[in-house]
């Protein structure tokens, strides 16, 4: 398994990964998690859960490793059911010696899936954490319960940074029909960003997540209009992305940042590059889905893979 190696440059990986329905095997009567029990059609057993956790841990330990020789110091995640599955993940074979902890709040999402931030305690210390609800109204005038926006303020190697972890409303009812919900999510992030900058005008802010929209989409363009830079724009094409749907590539998983990460000179905390982590072992090997993320299920059919998303990550240099 990857071990942190000695290197000349003080480089660090920060990433995001949608873990595709990381549920435990217990039925929670307050959420729609019935598919993820041993008695369901998907036959979600403890053995399958442990296998998925181990495989995800292996992927996480390799994100950015070829670039800098370090396991990620921060990783936003989506589609986790609760603290129990996060405990299993950070204590799994490939992560248990890396000193990971996590920030997580239960959100009101109807399916019971949340966001979280994994962090390595050797490098990152928590200053403050908060969950910001996203209030949406559905077609019938009732509240549409979705994921909160996780806000973590901490210090990475002595450098203050704010991280917002998102999982925006899906396109399930149609891209155009649901677009207003993701624009509302973008507006909420801008509101949080403005609050941060009002208190600390030079604050460094990273906004990451599964936005369920591509870099050119109206919601993402609205988000970066709040004074942010999106390095993921150049990574997206019809041949590559972080997920594939009906043989079309999308880059829903993105990390955007405040412009002070881009300053070239006299910059102690600087952005270097962004990538999609998509080596062959996390891809479908053959068939019509060849090259797409190797997922755990296709419908109710168990495939035994990792996730239906590739992780994304950014490399930063911190000068001590």
- Please tell me the predicted confidence (pLDDT) of residue 287: 84
Residue 160 lies in a domain: yes
pLDDT at residue number 3: 64
Percent over 70 (pLDDT), the chain: 97
pLDDT of 19 = 98
Q: Return the pLDDT at 141.
A: 77
How many CB atoms within 10 Å of residue 244? 18
For every residue of 119-187, DSSP letters joined together read EETTTEEEEEEEEE----B-TTSSB---PPEEEEEEEETTEEEEEEEEEPPPSTT-HHHHHHHHHHHHH
Instruction: Indicate whether 190 belongs to any domain.
Output: yes
Residues pairing with 270 in the sheet: 317
**Domain presence at residue 303:** yes
CA-CA distance, 112 to 146, in Å (whole number)? Answer: 9
Percent with pLDDT over 90 in the chain: 82
Q: What is the chain's mean pLDDT, rounded?
A: 94
Domain of residue 28: give its range: 11-318
Give per-residue pLDDT as tens, 178-197.
999 999 999 999 999 999 99
Lookup result for tokens 């992305």: 241
Give backbone dihedrals phi and psi of 228, rounded to 5 degrees, phi first: -125, 160
pLDDT single digits (tens) 269-315: 999 999 999 999 999 988 888 999 999 999 899 999 999 999 999 99
Return the higher-pLDDT residue of 220 and 266. 220
The answer to whether the CB of 317 falls within 8 A of the CB of 272 is yes
Judge whether residue 198 has pLDDT over 80. yes
pLDDT at 2: 64
* CATH number reported for the structural domain that contains residue 100 in this entry: 3.60.10.10
Buried residues in 305-320 as b, exposed as e (16+ CB within 10 A): bbbbbbbbbbbbbbee
What is the longest distance spanned by two Cα atoms in the chain?
A: 59
In this structure, are strands 100-104 and 11-22 parallel, antiparallel, or unpaired? unpaired
User: At residue 78, does pLDDT exceed 60?
Assistant: yes
Domain count, the chain: 1
Assign 160 a pLDDT band (cuts: 50, 70, 90). Answer: very high
Residue 6 forms part of a structural domain = no
Asked whether 70 and 5 are in contact (CB, 8 A), the reply is yes
Asked if the structure places residue 19 within a domain, the reply is yes
In a domain, 4, yes or no: no
How confident is the model over 245-272, as pLDDT tens digits?
988 999 999 999 999 999 988 899 999 9
DSSP class per residue in 178-224: HHHHHHHHHHHHHHHHHHHHHH-TT--EEEEEE-SS-TTSHHHHHHH
Residue 314 lies in a domain: yes
Task: Express each pLDDT in 85-135 by its tens digit.
Answer: 999 999 999 999 999 999 999 999 988 999 999 999 999 999 999 999 999
Does position 1 have pLDDT exceeding 50, yes or no?
A: yes
For residue 115, list its beta bridge partners.
78
Residue 8 binned pLDDT confidence (cut-offs 50, 70, 90): very low
The DSSP symbol for 18 reads E
Q: Quick one: angle between helices 46-62 and 83-90, nearest 10?
A: 60
């Amino acid at each position: 398994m990857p071990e942190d190696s000695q290197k000349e440059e003080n480089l660090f990986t920060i990433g995001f990964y949608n873990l595709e329905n990381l549920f435990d095997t217990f039925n929670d009567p307050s959420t729609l998690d019935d598919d993820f029990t041993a008695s369901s059609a998907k036959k979600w057993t403890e053995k399958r859960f442990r296998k998925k956790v181990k495989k995800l841990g292996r992927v996480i330990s390799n994100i950015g490793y070829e670039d800098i020789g370090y396991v990620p110091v921060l990783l936003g995640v989506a589609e986790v059911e609760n603290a129990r599955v996060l405990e299993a993940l950070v204590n799994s074979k490939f992560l248990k010696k890396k000193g990971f902890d996590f920030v997580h709040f239960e959100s009101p999402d109807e399916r019971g899936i949340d966001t979280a931030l994994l962090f390595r305690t050797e490098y990152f210390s928590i200053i403050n954490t908060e969950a910001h609800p996203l209030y949406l109204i559905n077609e019938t005038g009732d509240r549409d319960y979705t994921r909160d926006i996780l806000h973590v303020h901490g210090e990475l190697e002595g450098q203050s940074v704010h991280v917002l972890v998102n999982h925006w409303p899906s396109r399930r009812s149609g891209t155009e029909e649901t677009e207003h919900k993701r624009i509302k999510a973008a507006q909420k992030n801008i509101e949080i960003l403005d609050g941060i900058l009002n208190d600390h005008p030079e604050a460094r802010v990273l906004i990451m997540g599964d936005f369920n929209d591509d870099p050119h989409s109206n919601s993402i363009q609205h988000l970066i209009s709040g004074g942010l830079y999106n390095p993921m724009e150049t990574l997206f094409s019809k041949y590559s992305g972080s997920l594939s749907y009906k043989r079309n590539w999308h880059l829903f998983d993105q990390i955007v940042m405040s412009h002070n990460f881009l300053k070239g000179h006299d910059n102690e905390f600087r952005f270097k590059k962004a990538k999609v982590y998509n080596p062959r072992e996390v891809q479908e090997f053959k068939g019509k889905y060849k090259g797409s993320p190797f997922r755990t299920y296709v419908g109710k059919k168990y495939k035994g893979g990792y996730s239906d998303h590739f992780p994304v990550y950014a490399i930063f240099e911190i000068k001590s």
